[in-house]
Amino acid sequence: MSPEVVTLSDAILFSLLALALIMGCAWLLDSRRGKDRVIFGMILIVMLLNYLYFRITKTLPDFEWSAYAVWPRAYLSFEIVVIFYTALSIVFFFRRTDHGAAADASELTIAGAASPPAVDVFICTYNEDLSILERTILAAKAIDYQSFTVWVLDDGRRDWLEDYCAEVGVRYLRRNDNVGAKGGNLNNAIQQSAKETNAPFILILDADFAPQRPILKRTVGQFADPQIGVIQTPQFYYNADPVQHNLLASKAWVDDQRIFFDVMQPSKDGWGAAFCVGTSCIVRRDALGLIGGMPQETVTEDIHLTYRLLQKGLKTRWLNERLSVGLSAESLSGYITQRCRWCLGTIQVALLRDGPFLGRGYTFLQRLHYFHGLLFWFCRPFILLLMAAPILYYFLGLPAIQMEPEAFFLYALPMVGGMWAFHAWVSGRRSMPLFTEVSQMVSAVPITIALIHALIHPFGRPFKVTAKGEDRARVDVLYPIAGTFLLVIILTFMGMLNGPLMGTYNDLDGFSVAWGMVVMVYAFVSLLVCIELPREPLDSIRFPLARQANLVRDGNLVPCTINTISISKAEITLHDNRTARQISAGDILIFSPFADFDVAARVSDVDIARLALSMAIVAVRDRRYDWKIRQTAEDVRRKMIQRLFSEMPQAMPARAYPLAALRGLWRRTFNPPSKVSGSIEKHEVSVRSRQAPRRWQRRRDLAPSMPLLQVRAATAGPPLAE
């Protein structure tokens, strides 16, 4: 037991003063300044070391070969892993890069070049429906660059996809087997494209990641630095991940990858240890030649690529700009599969003879950064121990930590509060207590199992593709994991009744009750995540635009705000009541949601009270390429996809909004799934699927052909004002 002699009131006062210091740092210091990150970080490291010293010296029973003595030490060993990982992260946060100026210079260089270097754009696909693939393919065709070739690398060997590629004018490649999974697919494309284009640079895209127009101009010019082998850009998503969606926090909290992409990777880049993440990256063809092509020995060819290049003196540069937008895992099972694959691949690379631990040519710092990434996965078992600890105490009398309330306020609470505040501060308010931890808890059990399997049998397991575009039209429950959290809640509550709350009154009971209550809260929120709410069809996702524009009505300009837009619909707010009363359902109005892009839409609903119009898009004209009016359903769809997904507005929040997140959690807790999800349309797979026939069939034009500005107006007018 800890021999602290301070009173509880003194301990609470000390805790409040320590938390005040932490909050003062968060208020007065600026996370964008390196010196401020060092100051705040060192304060937190001191708190961590102080807590760790106390834990080792004052909270362990005398050693003996008994569960009472061994269990606390086993728990402490995993706690040390978490503390060491946290301390390393804090030190790595001391540095941070911003290559925005280099990207600006690249754009100027490419714009001034008579013939910029050619680029091959590789889109890797295996089993994705065309409803997903077409976003990436059409957006890739719209890249603002003079010399590039789009290649679709189809490891699913689908005839309908070959037909589609021929129709839209992109190259198509397939191979006879799937050896090497994604790495093997890329190597086949590298060999085949070398015979035809042999472009010196390759842009790699996953099937669901749509590149933004400036991606090549912002990156290719930076390869003037001969030490750069890969330029990696972050992954952004246009849909909520399962944790956001199932907790009704899609507009109140960032996805769990944002801290990694926006904070951790720029910090690793500051130490020269950023790594490739598999999509939205540009790589030198000659760099791939130095290492014999894309690595394919592991299920994470991306991080393996970075470390193979480091052996050759080439680095991965992290360009922290939003230059592609993709589809997050839609189901919790897909979310977990994805993370288990990352975990397995990280261990596989570590065990390779040319890997960062056993291979030659790596610096100590590069090995340390890889070890840090490995520790991230080894922190997951600690979450399971944290949930199990109160149960073991209640039923077996085995305390994981022998700590009185006074010691908790002196050592533990300031440290925990400091970590929460620091991570929220250093991440630019992207981190949020409860929600951040829950995103790790829901995958803790399968990742722990994956860790054990990986350590026993690391190689020979198949590459598992993350499912995208699934039918999500109904409530679904991931029963194995949901059952685990339900069991934790039941056992913890029964243990409380059996022990502390029914009169054992041990000195540790107050601490154990508080611990158990926290565990039940986290387990309950994690259980909610496992009860998956329906999702709307991908084509129905409305993107926030908030663009000031003009409607053309009978040749007159009407000021408005384009609130949201999707592939087929738009929501518009008018600026005056008189105009709203003159518009009725069925009217055709014209507006410009993007620069040099005109849309004709039919009014489907008018809300006079809100001055709001709901509109269905019926025709488009893209003045960036030509003045041709497209009115067939398929042509309109393709043009809307191309412009929307190559110039995607910010669809997801950039930081956390705690009050909004808590309101969503409150609604999720006290309302049945059918009520909070609302009416969801049944997701229907269109002809753009793997079941489509061999020949691609163009949709029949059901509308009469007429000029865009003559759909309503008698005469054509000038381009709309932006």
DSSP, collapsed to helix, strand or coil, labels residue 124 as strand
Domain final residue pick, 579, 613, 631: 631
Nearest to 318 by CA among 384, 444, 222: 222
- pLDDT at position 174, please? 96
Is 261 a member of any domain? yes
Indicate whether this model's pTM tops 0.85: yes
Residue 220 has pLDDT above 70, yes or no: yes
Domain assignment of residue 639, yes or no: no
- 709 belongs to a structural domain: no
Confidence of residue 579 (pLDDT cuts 50, 70, 90): confident
* Last residue of one domain, picked from the residues 272, 305, 328: 328
CB atoms inside a 10 Å sphere around CB 63: 10
Q: What is the pLDDT of residue 350?
A: 95
Measured CA to CA, the distance from residue 702 to residue 700 in angstroms comes to: 6
Nearest Cα to 113, choosing from 88, 83, 143, 146?
A: 146
Look-up of token digits 């191979």: 175
- Predicted local confidence at residue 676, as pLDDT: 75
Q: Dihedral of CA 395/400/402/403: which sign?
A: negative
Confidence check: pLDDT of 706 > 90: no
In this prediction, residue 503 carries a pLDDT of 57
How far is Cα 9 from Cα 463, in angstroms, rounded to an integer? Answer: 56
Residue 691: per-residue pLDDT? 39
pLDDT value of residue 185: 96
Same domain, residue pair 182 and 261: yes
In a domain, 202, yes or no: yes
**Mean pLDDT estimate for the chain:** 89
Per-residue pLDDT tens over the stretch 310-354: 999 999 999 999 999 999 988 999 999 999 999 999 999 999 999
User: Which one has a higher pLDDT value, 403 or 590?
Assistant: 590
pLDDT at 467 over 80: no
Q: Is the per-residue pLDDT at 718 higher than 70?
A: no
Give a yes or no: residue 218 inside a domain: yes
Q: Is 559 helix (H, G, I), strand (E, B) or coil?
A: strand
Same domain, 83 and 120: no
**Does the CA dihedral 445-450-451-455 come out positive or negative?**
positive
Reading the block at residue 456, the tokens are: 């026993």
Question: Is there a contact between 258 and 430 (Cβ–Cβ < 8 Å)?
Answer: yes
Looking at residue 212, the DSSP 8-state letter turns out to be P
pLDDT at 722 over 60: no
Asked whether residue 478 falls in the same domain as residue 547, the answer is no
- Whether 398 and 464 map to the same domain: the answer is yes
545 lies in a domain? yes
* 65 and 211 both lie in a single domain: no
Distances in whole angstroms, Cα of residue 571 to Cα of each of 209, 546, 693: 26, 10, 35
Looking at 584, 610, 631, which one is the last position of a domain?
631
Confidence of residue 463 (pLDDT cuts 50, 70, 90): low
Residue 130 within any structural domain of the chain: yes
Number of structural domains found in the chain: 3
Are 420 and 473 within one domain? Answer: yes
**What single-letter DSSP state applies at residue 463?**
P
Round the CA-based radius of gyration of the chain to a whole number and report it: 28
pLDDT band at 200 (very low <50, low <70, confident <90, very high): very high
Query: What's at 672, amino acid-wise?
Result: P
User: Residue 548 class from Cβ within 10 Å (0-12 exposed, 13-18 middle, 19+ buried)?
Assistant: exposed
On whether both 204 and 80 belong to a single domain, the answer is: no
Which tens digits make up the pLDDT trace of 493-532? 998 887 666 555 565 677 888 899 999 999 999 999 999 9
The answer to whether residue 333 is domain-embedded is no
C-beta of residue 106 within 8 angstroms of C-beta of residue 217:
yes
Residues 6+ apart with CB under 8 A from 259: 423, 427, 430, 431, 436
Specify the pLDDT at position 448: 96
The DSSP code sequence of 513-558 is: HHHHHHHHHHHHHHHHHHEEPP---GGGPPEEEEEEEEEEETTEEE
Q: Residue 469's pLDDT is what?
A: 62
CATH value at residue 200:
3.90.550.10
| Residue 383 shares a structural domain with residue 472 | yes
- pLDDT band for 155, please (50, 70, 90 cuts): very high
User: What was the pLDDT predicted at 513?
Assistant: 85
Same domain? 199 vs 285: yes
Digit-coded pLDDT (tens) for 632-679: 999 999 999 999 999 999 888 999 999 999 999 999 999 888 777 654
Q: Tokens 């193979």 map to which residue?
A: 308
Domain co-membership, 61 together with 137: no
Contacts of 449 (CB under 8 A, 6+ apart): none
Do 123 and 298 contact (CB within 8 A), yes or no?
no
Q: What b-and-e string marks burial along 648-669, b requiring 16 or more CB atoms within 10 Å of the CB?
A: bbebbbebbbeeebeebbeebe
**Residues 448, 596 within the same domain:** no
- The model's pLDDT over 591-640, given as tens digits with 9 standing for 90+, comes to 999 999 999 999 999 999 899 999 999 999 999 888 889 999 999 999 99
- Cβ proximity of 393 and 461 under 8 Å: no
pLDDT average, residue stretch 431-458: 93
Percent of the chain with pLDDT over 90: 76
User: Within 258-378, where are the H helices?
Assistant: 258-259, 265-270, 285-290, 301-311, 332-351, 364-378
> Does the pLDDT at position 694 exceed 70?
no
pLDDT of residue 707: 47
Q: Are residues 414 and 543 in the same domain?
A: no
- Domain that includes residue 489, residue range: 8-94+376-532
CATH label of the domain that carries residue 555: 2.40.10.220
Tens digit of each residue's pLDDT (9 = 90 or more) over 260-279: 999 999 999 999 999 999 99
